[in-house]
Homo-oligomer: A and B are copies of this chain.
Amino acid sequence: MTTSTQIILAATPTGAVSEANFAHSEITLPELADGEFLVSVKYVSIDPTIRGWIAYDTYLPKIPEGDVIRSLGAGEVIQTNNDAYPIGSRVTGMTNWQSRVIMTNAFRIPDGVTYEDALSVMGMTGLTAWYGMLEIGKPQAGETVVVSGAAGAVGSLAGQVAKIRGARVVGLAGTPEKCDWITNDLGFDACINYRAQSVPKALRETCPDGIDIYFDNVGGEILNDVLGQISDRARIVMCGAISGYDSADLPPGPANLVNVIPRRATLQGFIVLDHFDRAAESATEMAGWMAEGKLISKVDITDGLDNAPAALMALFTGGNTGKSLVRL
């Protein structure tokens, strides 16, 4: 008899998320049916989008109370009734926050790729940065690109992709340590510490000719500040709005949105799940840039499934640098 440890949604959050919203649960898994395989989960992925899934319907239905937390993850096949997934294969997919999961379909991790890379730069996080920056932002050499959440999983990669395409890149982050990492290690041209500086003033100083592309992970006031400073034909990549995810009420909208008309700007929202068909292309290109030393991927690892809720909460207080993973 196989058991699995799960973190379930104990109570739907109404304001800020706390430990009380989650509970530890032990379940017994059924025997494998035809086509199924059992995965021993090694890592689960801690993503801001989970904050939406536990609270309301988004692009996916809300997670019901009592159900396991939906999540990407990676692990090793330890039992199988599916020839495409022999014992010992390493896979990524929707493992959810649990120690063992029965699956019928997953992505095989190629030899030579670590679990950590498979769940970050070469996974959905990397695809989000790659697709959003290259297919929506479309940076040209010499353009000025601003990235918020620049020390985060997606932002740190998105900014580096824009640098590779020859753009000037300015990041926003919330501590001096993050800003140092962004400029010294990632090679951004400048970093604004939004907690210590006046963002509108810092944007005027670092982007004197205006902002051509804004890769937005945070929404809220910073989005408004950027919209006050955009160039003609600016592209705003609407990737996330993490500043508002943990609030009971919707934060105010950006008054400077009116600037989109005289500046002929475009704001475009996207969801990475729509662009799975580009995953191999993104992973190949990202891996190539890493091999050439042009791209750095950082993971921020927390040990123990029971610490997954705390790792999720840390996303909303700026606690992580790079891609947050929980290792089982």
Q: What is A's interface to B at a CB cutoff of 8 Å?
A: 52, 58-59, 219, 224, 238-241, 244, 250-258, 260-271, 274
Contacts and interface: CB of A to CB of B under 8 A. Distances in A.
A264 B270 contact: yes
Contacts of A250: 255-256, 258
A59 B262 CA distance: 5
The 5 closest A-B pairs by CB, nearest first: A253-B253, A260-B269, A253-B254, A261-B269, A250-B255
B261 A238 contact: yes
A209 to B, nearest CB: 16
Contact of A256 (B239, B253, B261, B270): B253
A251 B255 CA distance: 6
Contacts of A262: 52, 58-59, 269, 271
A169 to B, nearest CB: 22
Given A253-B254, A264-B271, A266-B267, 10 more contacts: A59-B263, A219-B257, A219-B258, A239-B261, A250-B256, A252-B252, A252-B255, A261-B271, A263-B269, A266-B268
A224 B263 CA distance: 20
Nearest to A220: B258
Contact of A261 (B240, B253, B255, B264): B240
Contacts of A267: 257, 260, 266-268
A53 to B, nearest CB: 11
Question: Which of A238, A241, A258, A260 has the most CB atoms of chain B within a 10 A radius of its CB?
Answer: A258
Given A59-B262, A260-B267, A266-B268, A255 B253 contact: yes
Question: Which of A257, A260, A271 has the most CB atoms of chain B within a 10 A radius of its CB?
Answer: A257
A253 to B, nearest CB: 3
Nearest to A60: B262
B274 A261 contact: no
Given A264-B274, A267-B266, A257 B257 contact: yes
A59 B241 CA distance: 29
Contacts of A254: 253, 257
Contact of A253 (B257, B263, B265, B266): B257
A226 to B, nearest CB: 12
B264 A241 contact: no
A258 B244 contact: yes
Contacts of A270: 261, 264
20 contacts: A58-B262, A59-B263, A219-B257, A219-B258, A239-B261, A240-B261, A244-B258, A250-B255, A252-B252, A253-B254, A253-B257, A254-B257, A257-B257, A257-B267, A260-B267, A260-B269, A262-B271, A264-B269, A264-B271, A267-B267
A283 B244 CA distance: 46
A232 to B, nearest CB: 8
